[in-house]
């Protein structure tokens, strides 16, 4: 019985996963609330990294970005920000954009009809460290309901999806070359590239593959004429809001 129950619940989860990914995730759906790319008239792209900041991964990635002299955008999980404020500070001071990726990466909170805490608490963790508020939000799991979109817009957020998706989050990690191929195959002018610097609720997390991808892919795209900017610069929008700007 336990075996059957488990199989049924696995199946329900799988079906829910498929339905959510089909209807709520970028780049094809989500009722048009996502910004999945910038203007396509210039060879400019934005690298984005989700789920940090974590030691063992975000610090490696910041080193790699400094080596190739590129700026990026980090969508941070509030719990990890609280654990590693100095890592967030470093990313910001080195010119990267800091976006909100919720307080704890819960899937249910964004689906809930009422919960706004996951947005506000994630934002407050970032604001406590940086003294400014983020303007960009990426929903955890990429799942966005119309009511969550309304909550985010009323708080002044741009909801950032992607048009270039990779599997650098998978365990065991795919090869650097396969992730580089995923990026190169999908990237075009104005692309927003989705990668992962860390793991949602792990303040320390050893991960080398994404930093290796950056070292490889940035020079190659540059040779192809691409320039790297933050999501805010790609979209021509402000990167932060003042601390006392509590739109809602
Ligand atoms: Ni995430």
Q: What was the pLDDT predicted at 138?
A: 97
Contact 201, 53 (CB under 8 A): no
Phi, psi of 94, rounded to the nearest 5 degrees:
-85, 10
Q: What was the pLDDT predicted at 132?
A: 98
Q: Cα–Cα distances in Å, from 194 out to 8, 26, 39, 49, 179?
A: 32, 11, 17, 6, 11
Pick from 184, 170, 234: nearest CA to 213: 184
Count of residues for the chain?
A: 248
- Superfamily name with CATH number, domain 38-99+161-242: Glycoside hydrolase/deacetylase (3.20.20.370)
Q: What was the pLDDT predicted at 1?
A: 59
Residues in contact with 52: Cβ distance below 8 Å, sequence separation at least 6, in sequence order: 58, 61, 74, 76, 77, 80, 84, 87, 197, 198
Distance, CA of 185 to CA of 5 (rounded, Å): 41
pTM given for the model? 0.92
Contact 108, 74 (CB under 8 A): no
Distance 144 CA to ligand 1 centre (A): 12
Q: What was the pLDDT predicted at 234?
A: 98
Distance 2 CA to ligand 1 centre (A): 31
What does the domain layout of the chain look like in residue ranges? 38-99+161-242
Distance 3 CA to ligand 1 centre (A): 30
Distance 50 CA to ligand 1 centre (A): 5
Q: What was the pLDDT predicted at 110?
A: 87
Q: What was the pLDDT predicted at 32?
A: 75
Cis, peptide link before residue 98, omega less than 30° from 0: no
In tens digits, what is the pLDDT along the chain, a chain of 248 residues?
A: 568 888 888 887 787 777 777 667 776 555 678 999 999 999 999 999 999 999 999 999 999 999 999 999 999 999 999 999 999 999 999 999 999 999 999 988 988 999 999 999 999 999 999 999 999 999 999 889 999 999 999 999 999 999 999 999 999 999 999 999 999 999 999 999 999 998 888 888 999 999 999 999 999 999 999 999 999 999 999 999 999 887 65
- The environment of the single-atom ion ligand 1, i.e. residues with CB closer than 5 A, is 50-51, 140
Distance 167 CA to ligand 1 centre (A): 12
Residues in contact with 218: Cβ distance below 8 Å, sequence separation at least 6, in sequence order: 47, 68, 70, 228
Which active-site residues does the annotation give?
50, 196
């Amino acid at each position: 019985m336990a075996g059957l129950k488990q199989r049924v619940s696995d199946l329900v989860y799988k079906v829910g996963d498929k339905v959510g990914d089909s209807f709520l995730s970028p780049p094809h759906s989500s009722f048009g609330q996502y910004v999945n790319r910038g203007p396509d008239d210039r060879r400019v792209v934005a690298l984005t990294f989700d789920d940090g900041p974590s030691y063992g991964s975000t610090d490696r990635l910041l080193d790699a970005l400094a080596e190739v002299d590129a700026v990026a955008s980090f969508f941070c999980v509030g719990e990890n920000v609280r654990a590693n404020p100095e890592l967030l500070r470093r990313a910001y001071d080195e010119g990267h954009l800091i976006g909100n990726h919720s307080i704890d990466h819960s899937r249910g909170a964004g689906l809930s009809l009422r919960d706004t805490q996951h947005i506000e608490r994630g934002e407050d963790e970032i604001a406590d460290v940086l003294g400014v508020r983020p303007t960009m939000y990426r929903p955890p799991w990429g799942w966005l309901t119309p009511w969550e979109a309304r909550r985010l817009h009323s708080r002044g957020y741009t909801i950032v999806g992607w048009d270039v998706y990779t599997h650098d989050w998978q365990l065991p990690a795919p090869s650097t070359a396969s992730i580089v191929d995923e990026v190169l195959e999908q990237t075009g002018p104005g692309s927003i590239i989705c990668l992962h610097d860390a793991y949602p609720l792990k303040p320390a997390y050893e991960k080398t593959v994404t930093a290796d991808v950056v070292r490889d892919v940035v020079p190659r795209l540059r040779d192809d004429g691409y320039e790297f900017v933050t999501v805010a610069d790609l979209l021509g929008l402000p990167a932060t809001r003042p601390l006392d700007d509590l739109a809602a």
